[in-house]
Amino acid sequence: MESQQRKRKMEYSQDSYAKVNLFLDIISRLPNAYHEILTVFAEIDLHDKLKFLLTNKQEIKILSNVENLNNSNNLIYKIAIYLQNRFGVKKGVIVKLTKRIPIAAGLGGGSSNAATTIQALSKLWELDLSEEIMHEIAAEFGSDINFFLKGGTAIGKNRGEVLEECTQIDLKNLLLVNPNISISSKTAYQAVTISQPSNTWKDLLETNDPQYCYNKLEEGLLSRYPIIMEIKNQLNNQGAKNALLSGSGPTVIGFFDNPEICKNAQTYFKEKGYWSYITTTRRRQEK
């Protein structure tokens, strides 16, 4: 029993979930080169796996199945170093990352890993960080990280780091399709033209109906990446109720009513060599 308790203090494992943006509008440009947005985040059941192993050395080491993530540019590494320096931590950590969420895909994988790291190291390094401090740290490292500290469904404002609770959206038979390309957030936001805001997010939250989903970033990206429009059209032809770019893309979400039609559509895209995944939204978990 004592050895099991000691083991629990030496390691910590947590799944790191992806998200989709069911609504994303660009309100204005902020003076700090960011954009003011209004978005509806929804956590989904696609996830990476992270295992944190406590070490007596102060080194931070990442071991991932994706080789180019094993370096100091990874948000996991940056946050671990920040926490170590800010709180005078004398221990280190080895992080084993099993990556399942595509990179630079509009699904928030890096931000989710960052939030998981804050929560895990607060426990493993016995920092006992308050929710307020965790959110403060999250906002310093990115715009979506704060959402992943909570999960579920939430409204994001300002850069996305200011969150408001809302009714939980329950959607099944979501088909994610990615044509195996990457689009940076910078590229997506540079292509946007700000116009009259949309209010369909209110209808979305009231009805859970994906016909009210919206992504302002699509307008600027469709002409630059015609493959996105092709996927949207193909999803609709395969029986999707709606098809939408998630976040800054290039992952497209197809919303299906029928699970069999959804599976058939996935087979269609697999035969084209695209990455695909059938998922559902998740309700907020107590953490």
Is 19 one of the annotated active-site residues of the chain? yes
Q: Could you count the other beta carbons within 10 Å of the beta carbon of residue 2?
A: 6
Domain extents in the chain: 2-165, 174-279
Is 48 one of the annotated active-site residues of the chain? no
For the segment 102-136, what is each residue's pLDDT rounded down to a tens digit? 998 999 999 999 999 999 999 999 999 999 999 99
Nearest residue to 276 (alpha-carbon basis) of 105, 151, 112: 105
For the segment 141-160, what is each residue's pLDDT rounded down to a tens digit? 998 999 999 999 999 999 99
For the segment 17-56, what is each residue's pLDDT rounded down to a tens digit? 999 999 999 998 888 778 899 999 999 999 999 999 999 9
Structure tokens at 224: 């630059």
Peptide bond preceding 259: is omega within 30 degrees of 0, i.e. cis?
Answer: no
Candidate list 49, 91, 96, 144, residue with the active-site label: 144
Candidate list 7, 9, 15, 19, residue with the active-site label: 19
| pTM of structure | 0.92
**2-165 has which CATH code?**
3.30.230.10
Fold of the domain spanning 174-279: Alpha-Beta Plaits (3.30.70)
Q: Could you count the other beta carbons within 10 Å of the beta carbon of residue 169?
A: 21
Name the band, by pLDDT with cuts 50, 70 and 90, for residue 7: low
CB-based contact 135:266 (threshold 8 Å): no
For the segment 45-100, what is each residue's pLDDT rounded down to a tens digit? 999 999 999 999 999 999 999 999 999 999 999 999 999 999 999 999 999 999 99
Name the band, by pLDDT with cuts 50, 70 and 90, for residue 2: very low
CA atoms within 13 A on the CB side of 60: 21
Two domains, one topology: 2-165 and 174-279? no
**Does residue 3 carry a pLDDT above 60?**
no
**C-alpha span between 157 and 241 (Å, rounded):** 27
Radius of gyration of the chain (CA): 19
